[in-house]
Structure 1
Amino acid sequence: MRGLYYEEFEVGHVFEHAVGRTVTEMDNMLFSCLTLNPQPLHIDHAFAAQTEWGKPLVNSLFTLGLMIGISVSDTTLGTTIANLGMTDVKFGKPVFHGDTIRVKTEVVSKRESRSRPDAGIVEFHHRAYN
């Protein structure tokens, strides 16, 4: 399976990615440790029990990475040159251990690259749901 090339993307197309992933406590703990993030809201059940959530929240950057990862197979697997950036990243609601993340990706725009005549730039709007 491969992703799509610039010419194959259609503005307005929405991918409803078939792959979803259930987040585990180990995912959250490993990500927090690997990124040197000791935030007790993510890794300490006793601390998190005293918050409005009552339990640990999954690190939001893990959720962001998971969302992008889920989208790759349908969009850019093996066909991308670079990720040029992200804008308007928002986390609308918390993710907890046991939540299953699903993703939709919309092709928002596309244009030919001004600096690389053999390449194009595609802008996506990714949405993750739990």
Structure 2
Amino acid sequence: MPQQSPAMYFEDYELGQTMCSAPRTVTDADIAHFATLSGDQNPLHMDADYARETVFGGRIAHGLLGLAIASGLAAQAGFVDRTVLAFTGLDWKFRNPIRPGDSILVAAEVGRLRAMPSLGGGLVVLQVTVRNQDEVVVQQGNWSLLVKARCCAPEAGTALDQ
């Protein structure tokens, strides 16, 4: 099992702080599995002959697949893992297509912080950018998260700290 990054509590975030994930390659299998899971069998994603005749010139991944992978990359990198109580909002733009074989990564900057003691933490707004292997921005926007405060964390040795 890969080693987990230390949990980031609300107090650990600083305005302007930046974080970056490792890259991940989007595969044909990812697209097929997402199409099955979501029920979105649009030929733009599933049919190479059809997609070749579109403005994209070939198959592209579902936009929401890119967002889902971005969320996973952010969790794996440790900056939205184990202390996020709720994903409270999203303002998101799909800038360029993600193609099968593209490697994408997530960069995030803390754009806003607001303590919310009555909820046991605070609001963290991350300005998130997803880029491909050519440094092209494919998706970007803001994620609003309710993050647990350290004061409200379980005692040491519980699942959150392991």
Whether the TM-score (by the shorter chain) exceeds 0.5 is yes
1:21 aligns with 2:19: no
Residues 14-35 of structure 1 show CA distances to partners (whole Å, capped at 9, x for unaligned) of: 1122x11001011011101110
Q: Do 1:42 and 1:58's aligned partners in 2 also have CA atoms closer than 8 Å? A: yes
Aligned residue in 2 for 1:122: 124
RMSD of equivalent CA atoms: 1.2
Aligned residue in 2 for 1:82: 86
Normalised by the length of structure 1, the TM-score is 0.92
Higher relative contact order, structure no. (Cα contacts within 8 Å, ≥ 6 residues apart): 1
Q: Percent identity over the alignment?
A: 30
Moved over 2 A (4+): none
Q: Do 1:2 and 1:78's aligned partners in 2 also have CA atoms closer than 8 Å? A: no
Normalised by the length of structure 2, the TM-score is 0.74
Runs of 5+ unmatched residues, structure 1: none
User: What CA distance in whole angstroms lies between the structure 2 residues aligned with 1:83 and 1:53?
Assistant: 32
Residues 21-74 of structure 1 show CA distances to partners (whole Å, capped at 9, x for unaligned) of: 001011011101110001110001111011122211110100011111111232
**How far did residue 102 of structure 1 move?**
1.2
User: What CA distance in whole angstroms lies between the structure 1 residues aligned with 2:37 and 2:83?
Assistant: 28
Runs of 5+ unmatched residues, structure 2: 133-162
Aligned partner (choices 31, 50, 67) of residue 70 of structure 2: 67
Structural mapping, 1:2-21, within 5 Å: 2-17=6-21, 19-21=22-24
Q: What number of residue pairs does the alignment pair up? A: 127
User: What CA distance in whole angstroms lies between the structure 2 residues aligned with 1:76 and 1:49?
Assistant: 37
